[in-house]
Structure 1
Amino acid sequence: MEAPVNLFLFCLCGAIACLSPIQDAAKDLPQVLTQIDQQSSDISSLKATFRQVKHSSILRKPLVSSGTIQMLEDRVRWDTKEPNASVLLASSEGVRIYYPDLNVIEVYRLSDQLRQLAGSPVFRLSELNRNFTIDSNLKTSDSGVLSLELIPRDESLRKHLKSIRLDVHAETGIVRQVELRNVDDERTEISFERIRVNPTLTTRDLDLDVPENVRTVHPLGNDPELDTSINGAGT
């Protein structure tokens, strides 16, 4: 896993996957973003399927994966079904990724930037404005999609991330596709389908249950002493 960028991508997608309706895309951008921010307070949970495609010059063909996403309160759970099974659980406590075929769980602590994105499953304009400049021509496509471009402000993010494009359905406010482009011009696209807003979910639905003998690793050199607090969230 390309830890800094991929963790950021998953946390960000969890934070923005349920934007609320844009009633009038003819408004100026600050008005549109403020409207989204205000309306998103009504969204508390979400379920959807996703399809991720990674394009890179080092790959002979695009790498495709798919699965489901569930969000509730401060938790986002990604269940990848194909091509290899994995479960990613992100919350304000941290990120854990479980690989059942390997019986391994990766534990990551989050920076303040990621913690604030992962800690809420809905659009938060103040947090996005703090971390990105946001631009759009406010023109919708024939299919009713409005594109927003996010450019990272922070130098540490700009070392890895060039831009993010969000394709938002203007009538429903649902993010249909996210495109991340890194500094090497590699592209990762995530599209969402079968989206359900405010379905009935419990924290148990997003729990991550792992075997007692699972092997825990810290790819970024996180402090193992923090495992108790991180592993205690969602088990």
Structure 2
Amino acid sequence: MQAGLQRPCSWPAIEPVTSHSTYEILESGMVLMKNYISLMDQAEIVNICHKLGVGPGGFCQPTYNSGHKSQLQRMCFGRNWDPETRYKERYRSDGSEPPPVPEEFIPLVETTIQDAQAHINSNVEIPSMSPDVCLVNFYTSTSRLGLHQDRDESSNRLRRGLPVVSISIGDSAEFLYGFTHTTDECNSRKVLLESGDALIFGGKSRLVFHGVKTILPNTAPLSLLQKTMLRPGRLSLTFRQF
């Protein structure tokens, strides 16, 4: 990301804008919350990620053992994650370790889960959790993410179905998901994730196959770009409890 606005010394807590949001229950334990994060709070999230992204443990382009580089720019909060070693290595290859999950993000994630629970009238379908890890991905217009499962967290968290909370900022993305044990996109469903949307999947949907098929260029809100100077592309934050 290019340099954006400088972060003030102190920001108020980031709070979702539920009065303008709509909620769609995709499956048991899987809720899409449209227009959930205000533009002001999206800008704050971008600027926090920018500040941390240019420092130690910031954005990088991971390399696979094959020598191929990831299509994404990636940064971790709370615990290092790598496509080859998963959570096993504390430090990255450059010797850095990830910063903790920014304190501004934790109440946002917890409130997001509570709102989703309220709309499905159950904290069984979506259990509560407090995030201690986060994967931040930046997609360019040509980036893709193949169908996969998020199953690298501790067995206890997975068994309990503690949810993944995903926040989308910037350009829109065609998001694929499916429940069969396959990575065939033809058998997947598709939803559009736009800037300010939040997607939660936990409970029975915790191990859903999912991925990003396409980034739609020039779909980010203009005012967001003006406030942050976010490069063309999509910023995605996925929060979990390890």
Common fold by TM > 0.5: no
Range class of TM-score, shorter chain: under 0.3
TM-score by length of 1: 0.24
- Between Structure 1 and Structure 2, the one with more strand by share is 1
